[in-house]
Structure 1
Amino acid sequence: MTLVTVFALLLSYLLGSIPAAAWVARARGVDIRTVGSGNSGATNVLRSVGKGPALAVALFDILKGALAVWIAHALGLDGLWSALCGLAAVIGHNYSPFLGFRGGKGVATSFGTLAAIDPVVGLCAFAVGIFTMWLTRFVSAGSIVAAALAALLVIVMQRPVWMIVIVLILSGQLIWLHRENIARLHAGKERRLGEKVT
């Protein structure tokens, strides 16, 4: 590993760790860690603060993942290391030092990373995820289905081995962080899109 590679990975982690959801909510007088799911993500902002702030957070979180990959490319790193920088951004989002190594579930940042790595796979997963959310009104269901589809697509489309491994890690981490949501879905207790926190 060169110094440029180490710098890119650290920068990507720090970029990913910027807790936009927590800071936006705090500006509205809400501690995102104490309401709803407690996650620092756009869905919790939507339920606790509103649509406008949630959209801004979602776009910023997507950009974090994409920027990490693009910056790595700009620094001359190859596809593998650029993808690893995207993964570092997702890890930073999920385990932010600004929030005591807590964070969100990495859905938006994972999508930004995936879209920058492979736009075709990223857009297909995004479209199916959004359709699933619209159909079921469950954000978690859409996120899980999109993650599973992305993992399937990179294998079926015979992407490079390094890309398959990175996407499997991204998808596996996302699904694992949604394990409580899966349990609530199974029990019929998951909140639907648009429901406010109480």
Structure 2
Amino acid sequence: MILTTVLALALSYLLGSVPAAAWVARARGVDIRQVGSGNSGATNVLRALGPGPALLVALFDILKGALAVWLGSALGLGPFPATLCGVAAVLGHNFSPFLGWRGGKGVATSFGVITAAAPVAGLGVFVIGVAAILLTRFVSAGSILGAVAAVLLTLVTAQPVWLILIVTALTALLVWQHRENIRRLQAGNERRLGEPK
């Protein structure tokens, strides 16, 4: 079982490291790391290439997180190690060997993990995150609020302690990945969704 767990974690990391944003952008003749924020994620693809490619990237990144959890379960792992496979996918997304150990900020992939592990909490995260983005037009703020809401929702829905701790760790990583966005929000110069550069 230890060997199976290690194999599942490694496969999940590799799955997460597939840089959908970079590859979709490259197919359009764009190096996503050289435009906009330089981030390999759906928001930067939206600003660089439009809603169609961004939606494709977002769905793929969500699926990476969910598939990693399901992979762990399919290999006979329990809920805890299967969810750790989801964490491995997030780490692969954020620190991809295909992008020189860079990547995205893990928002969509973390959402996929949370939804696969705790569907009710995932639904709540989606509603709160999207509502915050629509109200403020700050993708970063919506992402952070959604992540914080994930911790609260796992508490409110009485999820296992180990899952609450995993979601808390994913939230902390997501907030850290958004540290530059937080500085810009505090300074009042963060770009709103749809706002020209």
Q: Which interval holds the TM-score relative to the shorter structure?
A: over 0.9
Cα–Cα, structure 1 residues 78 and 36, in superposed 2: closer, same or farther, change >3 Å?
Answer: same
Question: C-alpha deviations, 1:139-189, integer Å up to 9, x for none?
Answer: 001000000011112223331111011000111100111111111111111
Amino acid at match of 1:155: L
Alignment of 1:5-44 (within 5 A): 5-44=5-44
Q: Note the C-alpha offset of 1:95.
A: 0.1
Question: C-alpha deviations, 1:106-153, integer Å up to 9, x for none?
Answer: 000000000000000111011100000000001001000000011112
Name the count of aligned residue pairs.
Answer: 197
**1:67 has 2:67 as partner:** yes
Amino acid at match of 1:45: V
* Partner SS, residue 151 of structure 1: helix
* Partner SS, residue 58 of structure 1: helix
TM-score (norm 1): 0.97
Identity rate, percent: 69
Instruction: Say which is worse superposed, 133-142 or 149-158, in terms of deviation.
Output: 149-158
Question: Which residue number in structure 1 is paired with residue 188 of structure 2?
Answer: 188
Cα–Cα, structure 1 residues 45 and 158, in superposed 2: closer, same or farther, change >3 Å?
Answer: same
Alignment of 1:24-173 (within 5 A): 24-173=24-173
Q: Note the C-alpha offset of 1:35.
A: 1.0
**C-alpha RMSD of the superposition:** 1.0
Q: Is residue 86–residue 113 contact of structure 2 (8 Å, CA) maintained in 1? A: yes
TM-score (norm 2): 0.97
Task: Tell me, in whole angstroms, the C-alpha distance in 2 between the residues paired with 1:180 and 1:126.
Answer: 23
* Partner SS, residue 66 of structure 1: helix
Q: Note the C-alpha offset of 1:196.
A: 4.8
> Structure 1 regions of 5+ residues with no counterpart?
none
Question: C-alpha deviations, 1:10-49, integer Å up to 9, x for none?
Answer: 0000000000000011111111111111110000000011
> Structure 2 regions of 5+ residues with no counterpart?
none
Task: Tell me, in whole angstroms, the C-alpha distance in 2 between the residues paired with 1:135 and 1:19.
Answer: 30
* Partner SS, residue 61 of structure 1: helix
Q: Is residue 37–residue 44 contact of structure 1 (8 Å, CA) maintained in 2? A: yes
Cα–Cα, structure 1 residues 196 and 98, in superposed 2: closer, same or farther, change >3 Å?
Answer: farther
Amino acid at match of 2:138: F
Task: Tell me, in whole angstroms, the C-alpha distance in 2 between the residues paired with 1:149 and 1:50.
Answer: 28
Question: C-alpha deviations, 1:72-129, integer Å up to 9, x for none?
Answer: 1111100100110000000000000000000000000000000000000111011100
Amino acid at match of 1:187: A
